[in-house]
Structure 1
Amino acid sequence: MFEHDASLERVFSFSRLDVNSPLSTVSHHRFELEGQQWPTAEHYYQSKKFVKSVDLQEIADAASGEEAYKLGNRWWKFGKAKDWKQKRRVMMTRALYTKVQVHETVKQALLDTGDERIVETSLYDPYWGIGRDQRGENMMGQIWMDIRAKIRAKGKVYPSS
C-alpha cells in the first residue's frame, strides 16, 4: 500500500491550529495589513475568502483565531470569492510574512528551525498539511520555509552549525 515517509521523522512539525505555537495561524500575534488590524493570521486569511462585507466583518471581529477558522469554513459555498483557490497561498503568505515582520519572537522561532523541513501536521487537510497518508502538499510548511529563506537572504542570517 503506502510506505512510511521516514524523512518526516526529522522535521520541525507544528499544527496550524495550535494557539501556543508562534508559527500557527491562530497564535495571538496582532498585525496591520491592508489598513486593518488583524488579531491573528487566521482572521486575515479567512476574511479574504468572502466578498460580502457582513461576512468579512463577522470574521474580523471573531473572538479568537479558532473562531475565525470556524466562521470562515461555515459558509463553504455562499459568498466565497470565485478565484479563491488561486489566491489562497498568496493571502496566507501575506499574513504570515507580515506577522514575522511585526513580531521578533515569531521571527526567532522561525529562524530557530534551522534548516529543518517544516511540516504542518494536519491529518485532515492535505493542502495545508501533510494529510493522513503523508502525501499532502504541506503548503503551510512550504510558505514558512520560503519566508525563512527570504529573511535569511535579506539579513544574511544563517543557522549555526
Structure 2
Amino acid sequence: MTRSRRAYRDADGHRVEGTWRHVFVRNADTYYLADLVIYADGALDTGTGGLTDLTGLAALLRSGRVATTVTDGARASAHHLAQWRFAEATGAIDAGTLLAEVADEIDRLNDRPDSTGRCLQAVQAYLADATEDNRLRVRERYLAVPEHLRVYALGDMDHRDGPLKILATAIGDTVEDYYYDDVVTPEMHAEAVEYFRDRDLHQARADVRIPPDGPERPGTAPLTVYQGRQDHPDNGVLQNGYPAILTIDGTTYPTLTHAYWALATADPAWRDRIAAAPDTYDVVELAEQAPRRPGWPAARLAVMTQLLRTKFAQHPSMARTLLATGDARIIYTALGSDYWTASGPQSSNWIGRLLEVVRSELAALDAGIPLPAAGGAELSDSR
C-alpha cells in the first residue's frame, strides 16, 4: 500500500498532496524502476516526462511504456543502484489492476471512499433493505476492488473476506475463493448478514469509546497566529511581539521578542540596546548585529519555552486566552524563520508547538493537577 508514502507538488501557490508507488518504465529493451507519483487533483507523474492523468496512464500501459509485466532476459535498471536481467519474471498485477489502484489512491487523497469503501457502503445499503438488487450491487462493487486486495477488505484476519464473498455470491453458486469452496446456502447468507450486524455493533461501541488517556485527535479546528498582524484580536495576545511586559531577574522587556533576543547575547551593552528598542522590527535588526552567546542554538528552545511560561504566568488574562483555544493545533506564521514558525513546507513551527505545551501546563494548573518537578536550573539573566 502506498498511502503512507507522502509526496506533494506546488501548483499556483497551493500545495497538492500526493503519494507514490513503484512502476517499471520501459525504454527500448530496458525496464527502469521508477516512481509513479499520484496527486489528489488526479495528476500523475509517471517519470516519462510531464504530468498526465488516468487516461494518459492507460495509454502508457497499452503502449508498454509503463509496464506491469516484464520479459525474461530483458535488462532492468534501478537508477544509480543496480542493473540486472530478468529470469523467471512474474508480475504481481496487470494494467487494469494498476489503474484501479491508482484511482483508489486518488480517492483516498481526497478523503473519498475507495473501491473497498464503496463496497462496504453497498453492504450497508443491503442491510437496510435486503433486496436482490442491493445484493447484486454488493457483488458489483466487490468485484471492482483490485483482485489481489480482495482478501482483507473487512480488516478481519480471522474471517478474511469470507462473509463479504458469501454475501456477494448467489444462493446455489460456489463462493469464488480457494479459502471458502462451498455452495452458498440461505443459512450462509443469514450468517453473513449477522456477521455484518455484529461488526457494526462493535464499531458503534468503538466510536463512542473514550480512550483512558483522553481524545487521540484535537476536537478543535487548527488556529493560526499571524505574527506581526493586528487584525486578529482574538489571538493577537499569543504573538511574541504583542505588547506584554516581561520582568526577568529585575529587568523588564516590552515584549517576549525583546526578552528573547536580549538573552541571546551575553554582551550587556547589546542587551540594553535590544531591550530599549522601540519595536520588534528594530529588535531583530539589532539582534542580527549582536554577538550570539556560545551554545545558543542548542539552548534557544529551552529559553523560548521559559519565556512563554513567564509571559502567561505574568499575564493571567492572556493565559485565559491561550486556554480558550482548547486543544487546537496552533500554527504560528511569520516571515524569516522556518525554525520557529510555520512559514513553509519545511518549517518546524516550534513557537506554535511550545504554545500548545504551555497551554497544557496551564490546563493542568487550572484543573489542580500537580506536575512533576523539573529538577533543573531556572532561567537566569546573570551578567
Query: Shorter chain as normaliser: what TM range?
Result: 0.7 to 0.9
Q: Is the 8 A contact 1:18 1:24 kept in 2?
A: no
- Using the alignment, how far apart are the partners of 1:102 and 1:121 within structure 2? 24
Amino acid at match of 1:101: A
Distance 2:286 2:338 in 1: 20
Does residue 2 of the first structure (1) align with residue 8 of the second (2)? yes
**One-letter amino acid of the structure 2 residue matched with residue 114 of structure 1:** G
Q: Is the 8 A contact 1:30 1:38 kept in 2?
A: yes
2:343 to 123, 131, 156: 131
Aligned residue for 1:141?
A: 352
Amino acid at match of 1:48: L
The alignment's TM-score, normalised by the length of structure 1, stands at: 0.83
Distance (whole Å) between structure 2 residues aligned to residue 96 and residue 125 of structure 1: 18
Query: What is the RMSD computed on CA atoms of the aligned residues?
Result: 2.2
- Determine what percentage of the aligned residue pairs are the same residue: 22
- The amino acid of 1:83's aligned partner reads G
Question: 1:123: Cα distance to partner?
Answer: 5.3
The answer for the alignment partner of 1:62 in structure 2 is 277
Q: Secondary structure at the match of 2:330?
A: strand
Structure 2 SS opposite 1:50: coil
- Larger mean Cα displacement after TM superposition, 139-148 or 99-108: 99-108
Matching of residues 1-161 of structure 1 within 5 Å: 2=8, 4=15, 10-18=221-229, 21-72=236-287, 74-75=288-289, 79-122=291-334, 124-133=336-345, 135-156=346-367
Equivalent residues of 2:245, 2:252 under 8 A apart: yes
In structure 2, runs of 5+ residues without a counterpart are: 1-6, 10-14, 18-109, 111-220, 369-383
TM norm structure 2:
0.37
Q: How many residues align?
A: 150
Contact kept, 8 Å, 1:123 with 1:132, in 2: the verdict is no
Q: Structure 2: how far apart are the matches of 1:129 and 1:51?
A: 25
Higher share of residues assigned strand: 2
SS of 1:13 mapped into structure 2: strand
Counting helix residues as a fraction of each chain, which structure ranks higher?
1
Give the Å deviation of 1:126. 1.4
Unaligned runs of 5+ in 1: none
What letter is aligned with 1:65? T
> Would you say the 8 A contact 2:228–2:334 is kept in 1?
no
Taking a change above 3 Å as real, the CA distance of residues 32 and 123 of structure 1, as seen in their structure-2 partners, is: closer
Q: Is the 8 A contact 2:246 2:259 kept in 1?
A: no
